[in-house]
């Protein structure tokens, strides 16, 4: 019995050693994959207008019917995220009250650039009341459905008269890499599989859209947010979903 236990122990150690050696070899030959978003030589600034990078994800400055402004990368993001993280943030709004804060965080060699948005929202005083998987219809570069997680949240603030006011928000997010779109665990499994099989570290970007509104306006606010997503995403996101069958394609079969 003891001999059998020793044999199993030696086999286990051997397997651990082989796995460690394999991972060491893969890490030593690690390649960083292509991003699923457009990156270019556009400078980024912190809240104090200090230039922090000469490279950023390129979000569109002009959307039909909307105004826009570049938002600085927050101090806490600069302090907590890896130095090779690539950012970009824009705010879009129109005269009808539609609004969206758009953020793209692109990882480098360190995958800890990507984090769960639930921590950020709750850390900023928001309470998440609903989580849903939704799909937004995209028309460019061809019709497809873009999957994302939609978080509905609320917080309490004070209005101009100092009275308490409830504000709601919709936070929609997803992840993209080279020719891939993922949400939650899909990204992790894809990254692990590709890394182990090829030694390539998929370069994922975390994309989020956040809009604020008053209670009772959720349906209208989400419709407006979907419009901003449909207009802006094709301008900077390279990854797409599977093409939807058109009526003409269906009729020809």
Q: Domain for residue 250, yes or no?
A: no
Q: Report whether 120 contacts 105 (CB < 8 A).
A: no
Average pLDDT, the chain: 87
The number of domains in the chain is: 1
**pTM confidence score:** 0.84
Which of helix, strand or coil describes residue 139?
A: coil
Q: What is the percentage of the chain residues whose pLDDT exceeds 70?
A: 85
Q: Domain for residue 78, yes or no?
A: yes
What pLDDT digit, counting tens, does each position of 166-213 carry?
A: 999 999 999 999 999 998 778 888 888 888 888 899 999 999 999 999
What pLDDT score was predicted for residue 3? 63
Q: Domain for residue 155, yes or no?
A: yes
Among 112, 187, 117, 111, smallest CA distance to 147 is for: 187
Q: Domain for residue 252, yes or no?
A: no
Listed in sequence order, the DSSP H helices in the chain are 2-28, 75-80, 117-123, 185-198, 218-236, 247-251
Among 85, 61, 101, smallest CA distance to 208 is for: 101
Q: Domain for residue 128, yes or no?
A: yes
Long-range contacts of 126-130 (CB under 8 A, 24+ apart): 126/153, 126/154, 126/155, 126/169, 127/153, 127/154, 127/155, 128/152, 128/153, 129/153, 129/154
Q: Domain for residue 253, yes or no?
A: no
**Structural domain span for residue 165:** 2-243
Q: Domain for residue 249, yes or no?
A: no
């Amino acid at each position: 019995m003891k001999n059998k236990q020793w044999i199993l122990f030696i086999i286990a150690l051997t397997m651990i050693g082989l796995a460690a050696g394999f991972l060491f070899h893969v890490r030593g030959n690690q390649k960083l994959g292509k991003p699923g978003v457009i990156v270019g030589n556009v400078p980024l600034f912190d809240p104090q207008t200090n230039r922090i990078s000469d490279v950023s994800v390129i979000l569109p400055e002009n959307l039909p019917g909307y105004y826009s402004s570049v938002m600085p990368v927050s101090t806490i993001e600069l302090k907590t995220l890896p130095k090779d993280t690539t950012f970009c943030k824009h705010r879009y709004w129109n005269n009808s009250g539609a609004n969206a804060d758009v953020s793209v965080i692109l990882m480098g060699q360190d995958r800890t650039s990507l984090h769960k948005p639930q921590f950020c929202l709750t850390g900023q005083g928001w309470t998440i009341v609903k989580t849903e998987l939704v799909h937004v219809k995209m028309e460019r570069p061809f019709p497809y459905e873009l999957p994302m997680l939609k978080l509905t949240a609320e917080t309490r603030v004070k209005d101009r008269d100092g009275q308490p006011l409830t504000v709601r928000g919709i936070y929609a997010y997803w992840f993209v890499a080279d020719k891939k779109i993922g949400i939650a665990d899909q990204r992790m499994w894809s990254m692990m599989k590709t890394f182990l099989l090829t030694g390539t570290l998929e370069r994922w970007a975390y994309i989020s859209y956040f809009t604020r509104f008053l209670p009772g306006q959720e349906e209208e606010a989400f419709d407006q947010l979907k419009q901003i997503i449909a207009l802006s995403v094709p301008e900077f996101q390279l990854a797409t979903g599977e093409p939807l069958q058109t009526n003409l394609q269906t009729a020809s079969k």
